Structure 1
Amino acid sequence: MTFCAKLARFTLLPALLAASAAGAAPQVPDTLAQRLVACTSCHARKDAQGTPGTEHYFPRISGKPAGYLYNQLVNFRDGRRQYPLMTWMVDHMPDAYLREIADYFANDHLPYPTPTPADVPAAVLERGRQLATRGDATLKVPACMACHGQQLTGVAPAIPGLAGLPRDYINAQFGAWRNKVRRAHAPDCMATIAARLSVADVAAVSSWLSSQPVPADASPAQSVTRPLPLACGSSPD
């Protein structure tokens, strides 16, 4: 089954059932936005008034750098990332359509919800702040800001923002890198960092990141100091 057929079945079935019950032909627009309802139902979904929902696990993809979004779609399709629903949806999608989807979400700038306060001891939060803003030279772990931007909103074209991500999602991604379930183009800098951090450090940095307010302008930065602290295949110098 092609991707378009999958999306049609996933996004149009409710409308078809409602129309059948009402005895009228369905009126569903064939637009990219309508096709991507399958994506927005989990990522930065909106209610009937257009107000963004609150995501407790799934990451917000609205406003992320287009290059990063494209890379992740390819990674799901090609098996470098493992999440059955995502793989199912992009399995047969060509590169050109993946780029179209990435561009769509990169240009869709939804407001962020108010962050949830961290429910961890102050010392844990301080450790998370240290890792995010200064890193840990002893562990050879660079600051998150060194790659993801001073505002942690990412760097165009391919470095994602960390601001506004749910704590559980950040924790899960570190675990995926450590367990080699998530991979990126070599050299995989995040896999290296994840291997150097303890479980306690991961919990600390995820708690701090998820509790920080997102800047009013959450657009990705246009540049970052090069070379990066670690070589990254997804964002080569």
Structure 2
Amino acid sequence: MFPTLPFLAPRRFSALLACALPALAGAQGRADVPDTLAQRAAACIACHAPKDGAGASVGGVYFPRIAGKPAGYLYNQLVNFRDGRRQYPVMTWMVTHLPDPYLREIADYFSARHPPAPAPAAPDVPAAVLARGRQLVRDGDPALKVPACIACHGERLAGVAPAIPGLLNLPRDYVNAQFGAWRNKVRRAHAPDCMATIAGRLAPGDVAAISSWLAAQPSPPDARPAERLTAALPMPCGSAP
């Protein structure tokens, strides 16, 4: 069984909301709080970048780094949470009533930020697992009809504008959970949903190999999403036409 991001019990949900909204709660009734997008984004930063923009563990749940991701990708994910193609209660609660222009502003705000990435943790899996992960990321597996990750996400794995995300600086458990969500149809994208297809072709051990190898890779200090793909996508993908 592939893992997915868990639905939260009421007590856990309340705890995460308390974590995500401290800046907004403290701002109520204060005239000295500026009405800026940066201030409004404080609720996002509480989980996704509490110190360095890298993403962090809050209560045992891992959140992805969103700073520097292509704006089109971030916007698509906000819309997906709002419209039910992705399922995560905190995110759904925060964006349910936000209109498209506001979501684009949020996406543009975080896309333009490139804080330093932390050093990756030392891998704690066998060398053979890392080798398999590198193979899938760099070369794919023709026998499984799985293209290389770099064929879509860029040679440097930093993503491709406007809508393909980078894959570095993501917690291993988060990557595992996303593959599980695609496999279990908890996460969806516009058809044809290329990642759901790929997730269905990978065994759990292959997913673990990919996530372990990616989590062990350092991010170049000048990593930025590529402006364009150097070749056509290896398979149709509705979220990145």
Change (3 A) 1:228 1:52: closer
| Kept in 1: contact 2:72–2:107 (CA 8 A) | yes
* Aligned 8 A contact 2:63 2:174 in 1: yes
- Between the aligned partners of 1:10 and 1:32, the Cα distance in structure 2 is 16
Classify 1:92/1:10 alpha carbon distance in 2 versus 1 (closer, same or farther; 3 Å).
Answer: farther
Gaps of 5+ in 1: 1-8, 20-24
Aligned length: 217
Partner of residue 11 from structure 1, selected from 16, 19, 23: 23
Shift of 1:168: 0.6
Q: In 2, are the aligned partners of 1:12 and 1:28 still within 8 Å (CA)?
A: no
TM-score (norm 1): 0.88
Q: Aligned partners of 1:58, 1:96: CA distance in 2, in Å?
A: 24
Is contact 1:52–1:110 with CA below 8 Å preserved after alignment?
yes
Q: Which runs of at least 4 in structure 1 moved beyond 4 Å after TM superposition?
A: 51-54
1:75–1:52 CA distance, 2 compared to 1 (3 A): closer
1:184 equivalent among 189, 193, 198:
189
Tell me which residue corresponds to 2:211. 206
Amino acid at match of 1:163: L
Identity among equivalent positions (%) equals: 70
Give 1:15 shift: 4.5
The match for 1:3 is none
Q: TM-score, normalised by structure 2?
A: 0.86
Question: Could you say if the C-alpha distance between residues 142 and 183 of structure 1 is closer, same or farther in structure 2, counting changes exceeding 3 Å?
Answer: same
Paired AA for residue 89 in structure 2: P
| Residue 39 of structure 2 is aligned to residue 38 of structure 1 | no
Matches within 5 A, 1:65-144: 65-144=70-149
Inter-partner Cα distance in structure 1 for 2:172 and 2:119: 14
Cα 1:30–1:112 shift into 2, 3 Å: same
Within 2, Cα distance between the matches of 1:163 and 1:218? 10
Between the aligned partners of 1:53 and 1:126, the Cα distance in structure 2 is 25
Please list every run of 5 or more consecutive structure 2 residues that lacks an aligned counterpart in the other structure. 1-20
Distance 1:88 1:80 in 2: 14
- Higher Rg: 1
Distance 1:175 1:10 in 2: 31
CA contact (8 A) 1:54 1:113 kept: no
Higher-RCO chain (CA-CA 8 Å, sequence separation at least 6): 2
Task: Give the CA RMSD over aligned residues.
Answer: 1.5
The superposition leaves residues 113-141 of structure 1 with CA deviations (integer Å, 9 ceiling, x where unpaired) of 11011100000010000000000000000
Query: Does the residue aligned with 1:39 lie in a helix, a strand or coil?
Result: helix
CA displacement at 1:29 relative to structure 2: 1.4
Are the aligned partners of 1:177 and 1:183 in contact in 2 as well (CA < 8 Å)? yes
Q: Distance in 2 between matches of 1:111 and 1:118?
A: 21
